[in-house]
């Protein structure tokens, strides 16, 4: 028996590959499916099933491509109604994979088709629970994503989730291992642990939502408190997962269209495509194609793309390090952005060699800002989430969350100069680039963000308050 968690940090997402006696199952696969096929080929195993715990909102699953390429049966829980061939399991249905068994536990609440898969060994002993977004390590799935589809309020979904946890999951043995679909950083829960697996017994003792004496009313209040609106791309990903999408092979072929500087410029002017520069924020700051938006590939790339580009069908032109173009296109496709139409061949250096006009954004270190603040009054924008700002911030900083950049932009006076920071420098450059593309040339980036500002000891900082949510 082999159980492998395939964790993707950018999405804080866990997919699973389980193999026994020449048969395998993949649970909640990512969009690019070749790694799963390679694993099964190495084991000499056939992928028999693709188990989906629910219609995912935060990423596009690889179920369709994996099924097409391997012949595996796609399995969803009760009440699911996809637009493609799939086996809709009933509550308690058992699937055999080699010497192992998987029992379907219908656990609605996060969504109504949500289910968990209980793994049993060849002796029939329960050994693991693939809990999807029903149960996380330290948290449970948010109950507000499926309100429209289920014709229910978030409170009604929370009550349903309460019953699922109490009736289906909490009665299970303490020694089974919980394998969730997400960890810390995902927007599918409020405050998940950085751990990506745990025993159910430890979760019963430590997870606030599994308290034995918790009433239904207490559960509903605690689970729904602090929920912020989900990213705009979530319902679009649900639709793709439910109705279908282009093969990842087609997406990669379309996106890997090399363009010269002249061709890139023509495409930008004639197509209405968004120029997405995925280089390091400080590298970007020194020079970029005018009107580019910077979302660095080495941060929470896909979730921020999804949060800030409202239309998954938006055409994109890519500026990237030359050896990372395919990676960029793949990671865009993970969250449904399939319409990359080309990239700048050779990267930004090609643009410079062609003598094209370029733009830049000024950056200062925390120490330099402290020196400036000692001689003049400055305006500071903190673009972290409001929960982070409320927890701790520079006393003189104004909160303008990147999450709501259109509203935050209204706080910026074009006649004033601002120093912009986030936690470490990633989000502030995204914010600055978006506003720069909209004609704001009065923003200066603070390298290293709040962490560096605080460490100087030269700025007044509010007292720390433990945040109730990290959404």
Write down all domains in the chain, each with its CATH number in brackets: 2-236 (3.60.15.10), 246-353 (3.40.250.10), 363-456 (3.40.250.10)
What angle, 0 to 180 degrees and rounded to 10, lies between the N-to-C axes of helices 34-43 and 63-70? 40
Instruction: Please give the Cα distance from 296 to 461 (Å, whole number).
Output: 28
In this structure, are residues 197 and 5 in contact, taking their beta carbons and an 8 Å threshold? yes
Residues in the chain: 471
* pLDDT by 10s per residue, the chain, length 471: 999 999 998 889 999 999 999 999 999 999 999 999 999 999 999 999 999 999 999 999 999 999 999 999 999 999 999 999 999 999 999 999 999 999 999 999 999 999 999 999 999 999 999 999 999 999 999 999 888 887 899 999 999 999 999 999 999 999 999 999 999 878 777 778 889 999 999 999 999 999 999 999 999 999 999 888 888 899 999 999 999 999 999 999 999 999 999 999 999 999 999 999 999 999 999 999 999 999 999 998 998 999 999 899 999 999 999 999 999 999 999 999 999 999 999 999 999 999 999 999 999 999 999 999 999 999 999 999 998 999 999 999 999 999 999 999 999 999 999 999 999 999 999 999 999 999 999 999 999 999 999 999 999 999 999 776 555
423: its two tokens: 């936690």
Compute φ and ψ for 322, nearest 5 degrees.
-55, -30
Other Cβ atoms within 10 Å of 418 Cβ, number: 19
* 3-state secondary structure (DSSP) of residue 379: strand
Sign of the Cα pseudo-torsion (49, 70, 133, 122, in order): positive
């Amino acid at each position: 028996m082999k159980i492998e968690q395939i964790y993707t940090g950018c999405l804080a997402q866990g997919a699973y590959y389980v193999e026994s006696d020449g048969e395998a199952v993949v649970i909640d696969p990512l969009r690019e499916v070749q790694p799963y096929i390679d694993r099964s080929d190495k084991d000499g195993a056939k992928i028999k099933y693709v188990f989906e715990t629910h219609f995912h909102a935060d990423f596009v699953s690889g179920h369709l491509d994996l099924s097409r390429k391997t012949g595996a049966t796609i399995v969803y829980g009760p009440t699911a109604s996809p637009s493609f061939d799939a086996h809709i399991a009933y509550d308690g249905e058992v699937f055999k994979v080699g010497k192992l068994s998987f029992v379907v536990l219908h656990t609605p609440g996060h969504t109504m088709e949500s289910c968990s898969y209980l793994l049993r060994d060849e002796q029939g002993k329960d050994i693991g629970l693939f809990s999807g977004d029903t149960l996380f390590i330290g948290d449970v799935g948010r109950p507000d994503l499926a309100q429209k589809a289920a014709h229910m309020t978030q409170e009604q979904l929370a009550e349903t989730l309460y019953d699922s946890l109490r009736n289906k999951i909490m009665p299970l043995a303490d020694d089974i291992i919980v394998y969730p679909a997400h960890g810390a950083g995902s927007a599918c829960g409020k405050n998940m642990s950085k751990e990506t697996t745990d025993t159910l017994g430890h979760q019963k003792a430590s997870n606030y939502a599994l308290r034995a004496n918790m009433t239904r009313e207490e559960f509903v209040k605690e689970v729904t408190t602090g929920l912020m609106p989900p990213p705009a791309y979530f319902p679009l990903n649900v639709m793709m997962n439910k109705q279908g999408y282009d093969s990842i092979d087609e997406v990669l072929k379309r996106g890997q269209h090399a363009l010269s500087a002249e061709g890139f410029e023509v495409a930008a002017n004639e197509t209405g495509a968004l120029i997405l520069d995925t280089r390091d924020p400080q590298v970007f700051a020194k020079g970029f194609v005018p009107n580019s938006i910077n979302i660095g590939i080495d941060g929470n790339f896909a979730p921020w793309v999804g949060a800030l580009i409202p239309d998954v069908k938006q055409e994109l032109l890519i500026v990237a390090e030359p050896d990372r173009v395919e990676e960029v296109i793949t990671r865009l496709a993970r969250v449904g952005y399939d319409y990359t139409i080309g990239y700048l061949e050779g990267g930004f250096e090609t643009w410079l060699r062609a003598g094209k006009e370029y733009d830049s954004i000024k950056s200062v270190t925390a120490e330099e800002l402290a020196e400036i603040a000692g001689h003049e009054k400055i305006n500071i924008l903190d673009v972290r989430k409001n929960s982070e700002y409320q927890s701790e911030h520079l006393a003189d900083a104004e909160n303008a969350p990147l999450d709501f950049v259109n509203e935050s932009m209204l706080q910026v006076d074009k006649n004033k100069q601002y120093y912009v920071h986030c936690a470490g420098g990633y989000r502030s450059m995204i914010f600055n680039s978006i506003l720069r593309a909209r004609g704001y040339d009065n923003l200066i980036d603070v390298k290293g963000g709040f962490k560096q500002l605080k460490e100087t000891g030269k700025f007044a900082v509010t007292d720390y308050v433990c945040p109730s949510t990290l959404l």
